[in-house]
Amino acid sequence: MTVHPAERTGTEPLDAGRTVGLADAILERQRARESSARTYARSFPIVPARAQGMTIEGADGRRYLDCLSGAGTLALGHNHPVVTEALRRTLGSGAPLHVLDLATPEKDAFTDALFATLPSGFADRARVHFCGPAGTDAVEAAFKLMQTATGRRGLAAFTGAYHGMTAGALAASGGVTTKQPVPGIAADVTRLPYPYSYRCPFGVGGERGARLSSVYTERLLDDPNGGVVPPAAMILEAVQGEGGAVPAPDAWLRDMRRITSERDIPLIVDEVQTGVGRTGAFWAVEHSGIVPDAMVMSKAIGGGLPLAVLVYHEDYDGWLPGAHTGTFRGNTLAMASGTATLRHVVEEGLTDRAAVVGARMTERLNALRGALPAIGDVRGRGLMIGVELVDPEAEPDSCGARPAAPQVAVQVRAACLERGLIVELGGRYDSTVRLLPPLVITDEEAEAVLDRLADAIAAVTAPQGRGVRA
C-alpha cells in the first residue's frame, strides 16, 4: 500500500466489510466492555484496520500519519518489509513459537544482534536476562537484581520519571495521579530532581539547574541526617519520554555515573523508550559516554512484537536459578522481528537519520514559536521531540516558563487527529505534544507532520491566524 502522507479518503469504506458504521459499532462495544483504565483508545477514537510505514488506515477509510508509533515501539514503522519477511520466514520454518526460556536459534541470533549494538565497555562483560514481555517487567527484574546484589532495599529515582505500571516500576515513576489511589506504593523511593530546564525544580534552569541537581543528589546521599538509607540502585532515563521528551544534559549523566560509582550504588538506565536509535545514538547513554551497570530495554527491540530484556554487568549476576522467571520469556516471533529490526537500523544508518531529521524538525518547531506563542518550549533529542503548550497570556515564572495549558493540549491533539495526524500528550499536566515518528520517516512525511501540527495549534489557539508556516 503506497500512501501519500497528505492523502485522505474521507469516509470511503476500505472494502465491503469495513464501513464507518462498523468502526462506530466496534468503538461502542469497546467503550461498553473494556475497563475504564483504557488509555489511548480514549484519545484516539479510531479503529486501525491496515497500516504501512507511518500511515494507519482506519476501518472508516481515513488515513493518519502515526507520530506515536506504539509509544516509540515501531522504529521501522508499521509492517516494514524486513519485519514481515522475518516473521513469514520464521512461521514457515516450523520453529516452535513458545519455548519458555529454552535455547533456540532465533534467541541466539537475537542475542548476537543485541550484543553487537551495546555500548563499548558494556558488551564484553554483559549478561542478558529475558523478561516477561513488557518494559515494566524488565524494570522489576533490574530492581530485584540490584536488591539481591547489594542486600539493600530502597531506590533512588527522579521527578518526571516513567518506568511502568507494576508495583516497583510504578513506585519509581513520578506521576502522582497513578500512585495516589494505591496506598503505600511509593515507600522506599528517594525522589531526586531531574534536570528539566523549562520547569527547573530549582527555579533557575539551564546548566546551572542541572548542576544544582547533581550537587543536591550528592549532598543528600552523603548527609548522615538526610534521611536516606543507601539505596539498592539509582534508576534514570537519559531522555524522559512519558515525562515530556525531556533530555538530561550529558554532563549531568556523567555526574550521576560518578556519584553512584563513588558510593557503590548500581546505576540502572531505562532505555525502554530511548533505545534502538531513537535519540540519534543507538542507546541514549552513548551521547554522554557513560557505562551503566544495567540497561532496561523493550519496545523497539522486538520490532513491534512484545519483548523485554535486562542487560547488566556480570559482576551483579548473583541470582539463583528461577529468581526472575515467567512463562512468556521465549517468544520466537518477537526474537525474529527484533533481530531483523536491530540489524536494519544498524545497516541502514537509521540512528544518524534520526539525529538529522529530529534536528530539522526541532529547528522548524522552534521557528514556529514567534507565530504560535502557545508553544512554550521545544525540546528533545533525535526523533523524541516535545512541544510544551502554555498559556501565553499568563505571567512567566523565574525561568521564563508560563503555566501549562492542559485543555489547549487536549484540543490540539483532537485537532491533529482531525487533520490526519496521531500525536500523544505527556509531561507535566499532560501539556506536551510528543512526537515519536518511526526512524524511517521521509522528509515529506516530516514536513506533513509539522504542517498539520502547526495548523492544529493555530486553529485551537489563534483561529484567525490559521495556516501558520515557519
Ligand X SMILES: Cc1ncc(COP(=O)(O)O)c(C=O)c1O
Pull the grid cell for residue 54. 507511518
Residue number, 70 or 230, with CB nearest to ligand X: 70
Among 60, 66, 106, 242, binds ligand X (CB under 6 A): 242
Instruction: Label residues 240-276 b or e (16+ Cβ within 10 Å = b).
Output: bbbbbbbbbbbebbebbbebbeeeebbbbbbbbbbbb
Positive or negative: CA dihedral 89, 69, 277, 453: positive
Among 57, 60, 106, 270, binds ligand X (CB under 6 A): 270
Q: Does 341 bind ligand X (CB under 6 A)?
A: no
Residue number, 242 or 255, with CB nearest to ligand X: 242
CA pair distance 349, 202, nearest whole angstrom: 39
Residue number, 433 or 458, with CB nearest to ligand X: 433
45-53, 270-278, 447-455, 458-466 -> range binding ligand X (CB under 6 A): 270-278
Residue number, 163 or 452, with CB nearest to ligand X: 163
Q: Does 432 bind ligand X (CB under 6 A)?
A: no
7-15, 74-82, 158-166, 339-347 -> range binding ligand X (CB under 6 A): 158-166
Question: How many C-beta neighbours within 10 Å does residue 323 have?
Answer: 12
- Assess contact for 201 and 193: CB atoms under 8 A: yes
Q: Does 140 bind ligand X (CB under 6 A)?
A: no
Q: Does 139 bind ligand X (CB under 6 A)?
A: yes
User: Mask 164-183, x = binds ligand X (CB under 6 A)?
Assistant: x-------------------
Binding residues for ligand X, how many (CB under 6 A)? 15
Q: Does 132 bind ligand X (CB under 6 A)?
A: no
CA pair distance 9, 76, nearest whole angstrom: 24
- Assess contact for 147 and 227: CB atoms under 8 A: no
CA pair distance 403, 424, nearest whole angstrom: 20
Q: Taking Cα atoms as reference points, which of 161, 88, 83, 64 lies closest to residue 426? A: 161
Among 272, 284, 354, 439, binds ligand X (CB under 6 A): 272
Q: Taking CB positions, which residue lies at the least distance from ligand X? A: 135
SS3 261: helix
Return the bridge partners of 236, or none.
269
Q: Does 62 bind ligand X (CB under 6 A)?
A: no
Q: Taking Cα atoms as reference points, which of 430, 435, 461 lies closest to residue 448? A: 435
134-142, 402-410, 441-449, 453-461 -> range binding ligand X (CB under 6 A): 134-142
In the complex, the smallest distance separating the C-beta of residue 173 from ligand X, rounded to whole angstroms, is 8
Q: Does 14 bind ligand X (CB under 6 A)?
A: no
Q: Taking Cα atoms as reference points, which of 62, 51, 54 lies closest to residue 23? A: 62
9-17, 26-34, 140-148, 237-245 -> range binding ligand X (CB under 6 A): 237-245
Sequence letter at residue 223? D
Q: Does 282 bind ligand X (CB under 6 A)?
A: no
Among 65, 67, 71, 423, binds ligand X (CB under 6 A): 71
Q: Taking Cα atoms as reference points, which of 86, 95, 18, 88 lies closest to residue 332? A: 95
Among 273, 339, 362, 431, binds ligand X (CB under 6 A): 273
Q: Does 157 bind ligand X (CB under 6 A)?
A: no
234-242, 379-387, 416-424, 439-447 -> range binding ligand X (CB under 6 A): 234-242
Among 64, 162, 198, 282, binds ligand X (CB under 6 A): 162
128-136, 350-358, 385-393, 449-457 -> range binding ligand X (CB under 6 A): 128-136
Concatenate the DSSP letters of all residues of 187-246 into one string: TTEEEE----STT-TTS--HHHHHHHHHHHHHHHHH-TTS--PPPSEEEE-SEETTTTSE
Residue number, 71 or 109, with CB nearest to ligand X: 71
Sequence letter at residue 462? A
Among 68, 134, 233, 236, binds ligand X (CB under 6 A): 134
Instruction: Name every residue whose Cβ is closer than 8 Å to that of residue 10 and which is 6 or more positions away in sequence.
Output: 61, 62
Positive or negative: CA dihedral 372, 374, 379, 385: negative
What is the Cα gyration radius of the chain? 22
Q: Does 136 bind ligand X (CB under 6 A)?
A: yes
Q: Does 430 bind ligand X (CB under 6 A)?
A: no
81-89, 159-167, 275-283, 415-423 -> range binding ligand X (CB under 6 A): 159-167
Among 205, 241, 303, 437, binds ligand X (CB under 6 A): 241
Point out which residues bind ligand X (CB under 6 A): 71, 134-136, 139, 162-164, 237, 241-242, 270, 272-273, 298
